[in-house]
Amino acid sequence: MANLFVQNIIEKIKTDFGLPKRIGDGNSLYEISSNGALIYFRYSKLTSKGKVQSGFYGLRKEDVKLLSGKNSFICFVWDRDDTPVLIPFKNYEYDFGLFPPASDGQYKAHILLKPSGTEFYLANVGKFNVESFFGLSQLYEIGKQKLSVPDLSHTQVQSLIGAIGIKKGFDLWYPDSDKLKIDNKIVDYSKIRKNLPTFNFEIDNIISEIDVIWMQNSKPVSFFEVEHSTPIYSGLLRFNDVFLTIAGADNFNIVAVNEREGKFGREINRPTFKQNKLIDKVTFLDYSNIYHWYFNLYGKTY
């Protein structure tokens, strides 16, 4: 029998969609008969370190294989009656194929609950922001017209990231060349910093050109590089310089169209980024993640 926290979610699914059918020989994989979705439940206790809470999960290779090519989801649950994170497997199927599972036949994953956003970390691959995947809403969208994500320009993505940051209580930094291009219909210009603190003469020019920075008082909290058409490697090199120079800088995000996720995976796994642990500090968000995150926070499209 599934543990209490998973069972509570299954009861919710039963009420809204009918009794799900258990698949395989465990208590983790279920099929919703009414819409054909597969849900793979993973549970963990949370541990805390400062403001960050994390859960550690093992995903069996044989279970992950059953998710492939189907309308399937991984539901990460923890020992708290919160809304779970329900990630669509198709978004990460490529990443699971990059490396084999550990010697025990399981892929190792973490969910990191951070003030700057919730992250999914897949061992040996990298981190992905999953803030837009809280809740079970995706199950209700199957068979319905889904939220349509428009073609977004570099500046529009910068503006959406800024609006999300403001909603989460941060001030913003944009490069001087971009400040006046930001969409003031969704970004309060009073939240845009005119100047950055002085960090280090070797890094100040580099950090000032990062596409978006969320600021809390004088501290940079999150860094975002929007790689609309520029090489992903250049953004990672800029992050690497900041990571090696500014103490406590540990939240970096590459934002690009979904088709560039494979390129991100190959670049972040270069030996130089693995050896100095930058791989553990950088997440990938595609434009759809950003758009849905904005929609979830503001309840409106852009």
Domain 154-298, CATH 1.10.10 — does that match?
A: no
Q: Could you report the per-residue pLDDT of 261-273, keeping only the tens digit for each?
A: 888 888 988 898 9
Give pTM, 2 decimals: 0.77
Among the ranges 21-35, 68-82, 158-172, 234-248, which has the highest mean pLDDT value?
158-172
Displacement of CA 249 from its chain's centroid (Å): 18
pLDDT of 1 higher than 70:
no
From the list 285, 298, 288, the residue with the least C-alpha distance to 186 is 298
Do the domains spanning 4-141 and 154-298 agree at the CATH topology level?
A: no
What are the angstrom distances between the C-alpha of 19 and each of 57, 90, 262? 25, 24, 37
Q: What is the pLDDT of residue 161?
A: 97
Q: Using one digit for the tens of pLDDT, what is the confidence trace for 169-195? A: 999 999 999 999 999 999 999 999 999
Question: How confident is the model at residue 196, as a pLDDT?
Answer: 92
Average pLDDT over residues 42-62: 93
- Rounded distance, CA 197 to CA 166, Å? 19
**Taking the domains of the chain in order of start, what are their residue ranges?**
4-141, 154-298
Contacts of 158 (CB under 8 A, 6+ apart): 174, 178, 181, 182, 211, 212, 224, 226
Q: Which CATH class is domain 4-141?
A: alpha beta
Tell me: pLDDT of 145 over 60.
no
Model pLDDT, residue 191 = 96
Please, which pLDDT band fits residue 144 given cuts at 50, 70 and 90?
low
The total of other beta-carbon atoms located within 10 Å of residue 296's CB is: 17
Task: Report the pLDDT value the prediction gives residue 280, as an integer from 0 to 100.
Answer: 85
Mean pLDDT of the chain: 89
- Tokens for 154, please give them: 């570099």
Question: Going by DSSP bridges, is the β-strand pair 219-226/72-78 parallel, antiparallel, or unpaired?
Answer: unpaired
